[in-house]
Amino acid sequence: MKRFPNNPILTREDVPAIPPELVDATSVFNPGAIRHHGKYILVTRVQSRSRETFLVVAESPDGLQFTMHREIVRLEGMEKLGKRVFHVYDARLTELEDTVYVMFAMDMEGLCHLGLACTKDFQRFTFLGITTDDDTRNGVLFPEKVGGRFLRMDRPNRAQVDGGVRTGNTIWLSASDDLIRWKPVAPLISGRFHYWDEFIGSGPPPVKTRDGWLHIYHGVAGHFGSANIYQAGVMLLDLKDPSKVTGRCRFNILEPRETYELTGQVPNVVFPSGMVVEQYDSEGFALPKSPVKVYYGAADTAIGLATTTVEELLAAAREGEIPSQGM
Ligand code: BMA
């Protein structure tokens, strides 16, 4: 992927003061992204000096220059949970039947859940519920039902990186009839120990192509002492049966190299979370030549944009497995 020359596209200096919670923001990162009614929308993660986390919408006419809203996203109905929610973060956006769904991480006492909210206008957001029983992050909805059911990928937090947070090394496919209650269907891919993607999690929601469901994920190399390196990669799932993995990149497609990715609140992080494919055919398949914009968190501090095409991503997903030494 190629970095946009004016990266980073959003930094703490772009975050307006939204008193009393948010003044002099510390960071803005890990955005969900969507093109909606001709505008590019990001739902960003913003932190204040208290290290509270807020979701704040940013919008743009061209996907390159964004303006942040002067209000914090309020998830209406979340107060009825009656339980403390420390943070909501890492939104992923999917449009289903004229409604935009936001799946996000919710840090609660002892574990992290996946929460679901919806909006039609990015002004009002309705909280729909907690959608997990176990510690889980990185939930992404498929943009349509497959085989009559809603599908998502999610990543149970069952592993621990040295010096890092609880994480996971398997992305699962789950299914649901109502978007709230989910059942695991099958594990999809697991971390490749010793290589770039030892710990993994979904990036942006998958994209429908004639060749299958194209999906960008993040991989963490945890074997470099104090520095966990977060990178981006790509995989492909069978169109009709997404529990079948048909491709996975050998090389990462983006890794921390620029100063704004190498240094910051958490160094060495590119964290892809939003993706806009510009062109689809009349049956809703992404066109191979279509430009693709990938929005990513850089060092948990700023937002970067990387560009590519659908066919380049498909080619990367077909690179194949990392061969074992000596075989
Ligand atoms: C992950 C998540 C992301 C974060 C990344 C790097 O576990 O918490 O939100 O960007 O770590 O710190």
Q: Token pair of 5, please?
A: 């020359």
Ligand 1 centre to CA of 9 (Å) is 19
What type of residue sits at position 283?
A: E
Ligand 1 atom with least separation from CA of 300: 10
Phi, psi for residue 98 in degrees, rounded to 5: 65, 10
Query: pLDDT at position 163, please?
Result: 66
114, 132 contact by CB (below 8 A): yes
Assigned CATH topology for domain 2-317? Tachylectin-2; Chain A (2.115.10)
Q: For the purposes of burial, counting CB atoms within 10 Å of the CB of 101, is it exposed (0-12), middle (13-18) or buried (19 or more)?
A: buried
Ligand 1 atom with least separation from CA of 29: 10
Q: Which residues contact 185 (CB under 8 A, 6 or more apart)?
A: 151, 172, 173, 174, 175, 243
Residue nearest to atom 8 of ligand 1 (CA): 165
**DSSP character at residue 20:** T
- Find out whether the peptide bond into 272 is cis, omega within 30 degrees of 0: no
Domain positions in the chain: 2-317
Ligand 1 centre to CA of 211 (Å) is 30
From CA 119, how far away is CA 280, in angstroms rounded? 23
Phi, psi for residue 261 in degrees, rounded to 5: -100, -25
Q: Which residues contact 267 (CB under 8 A, 6 or more apart)?
A: 227, 256, 299
Taking 50 as the pLDDT cut, the residues of the chain under it are none
Contact 88 CB / ligand 1 (< 6 Å) = no
Dihedral sign, Cα of residue 236, residue 298, residue 226, residue 154: negative
Phi, psi for residue 262 in degrees, rounded to 5: -85, -30
Q: Token pair of 300, please?
A: 């948990």
24, 277 contact by CB (below 8 A): no
Within the chain, residue ranges assigned H as helices are: 259-262, 310-317
Contact 271 CB / ligand 1 (< 6 Å) = yes
Query: pLDDT at position 327, please?
Result: 53
End-to-end CA distance of the chain: 30
Ligand 1 centre to CA of 248 (Å) is 22
Q: Token pair of 235, please?
A: 């995989």
∠ CA 202-110-303, rounded to 5°: 40
Ligand 1 centre to CA of 96 (Å) is 27
Q: Token pair of 167, please?
A: 């994480």
Ligand 1 atom with least separation from CA of 228: 6
**DSSP character at residue 73:** P
Contact 30 CB / ligand 1 (< 6 Å) = yes
From CA 270, how far away is CA 287, in angstroms rounded? 26
**How many residues does this entry show for the chain?**
327
Phi, psi for residue 227 in degrees, rounded to 5: -105, 110
From CA 262, how far away is CA 165, in angstroms rounded? 19
**DSSP character at residue 164:** S
Query: pLDDT at position 165, please?
Result: 74
Helix (H, G, I), strand (E, B) or coil at 158: coil
Query: pLDDT at position 295, please?
Result: 99
